[in-house]
């Protein structure tokens, strides 16, 4: 099975670096899967999990937005933050989820705080999803 080099890079350092068979991400328009020898591509990413398939195993990474660059046999995911399941602090993510939910109840729609709470909730849910496989 052919492979490609995948890198997941954040401002705080590289999170993942290795050969994968397939990578699937959530773009702002929907799910997108990339196989080796894909055309060069640039796309922004939404908050969501990244799935890296390696010899039948799937490595999950929780991503908080960013973008992906595909070229030749190299895929670069650049994110503001990205965490492996083992690095996720579940209690913190839970607390963030509850806090965001509470804020959503309080805030009125079309409010800037509403948007922020929504994003925070999305990030927290994404982390919890990834952490629990």
Residues engaged in binding other proteins (CB under 8 A): 7, 9-14, 27-29, 32, 39-44, 66-67, 69, 71-72, 76, 78, 80-81
Minimum separation from the CB atom of position 35 to other proteins (A): 14
Minimum separation from the CB atom of position 62 to other proteins (A): 14
Q: Report the residue number, 55 or 110, with the smaller CB distance to other proteins.
A: 110
Q: Report the residue number, 22 or 82, with the smaller CB distance to other proteins.
A: 82
Minimum separation from the CB atom of position 2 to other proteins (A): 19
* DSSP-based helix, strand, coil % in the chain, nearest 5: 30, 45, 25
Quote the tokens at residue 101: 């939910």
Half-sphere exposure of 26 (CA within 13 A, CB side): 13
Q: Report the residue number, 12 or 110, with the smaller CB distance to other proteins.
A: 12
Minimum separation from the CB atom of position 112 to other proteins (A): 10
């Amino acid at each position: 099975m052919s492979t490609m080099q995948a890198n997941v890079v954040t401002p705080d350092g590289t999170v993942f670096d290795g050969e994968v068979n397939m990578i699937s991400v959530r773009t702002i328009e929907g799910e997108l899967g990339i196989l080796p020898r894909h055309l060069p591509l640039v796309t922004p990413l939404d908050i969501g999990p990244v799935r890296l398939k390696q010899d039948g195993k799937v490595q999950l990474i929780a991503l908080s937005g960013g973008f992906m660059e595909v070229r030749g046999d190299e895929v670069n995911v650049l994110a503001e933050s990205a965490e492996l399941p083992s690095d996720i602090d579940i209690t913190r993510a839970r607390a963030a989820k509850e806090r965001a939910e509470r804020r959503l109840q309080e805030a009125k729609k079309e409010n800037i705080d509403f948007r922020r709470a929504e994003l925070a909730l999305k990030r927290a849910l994404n982390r919890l999803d990834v952490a629990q496989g």
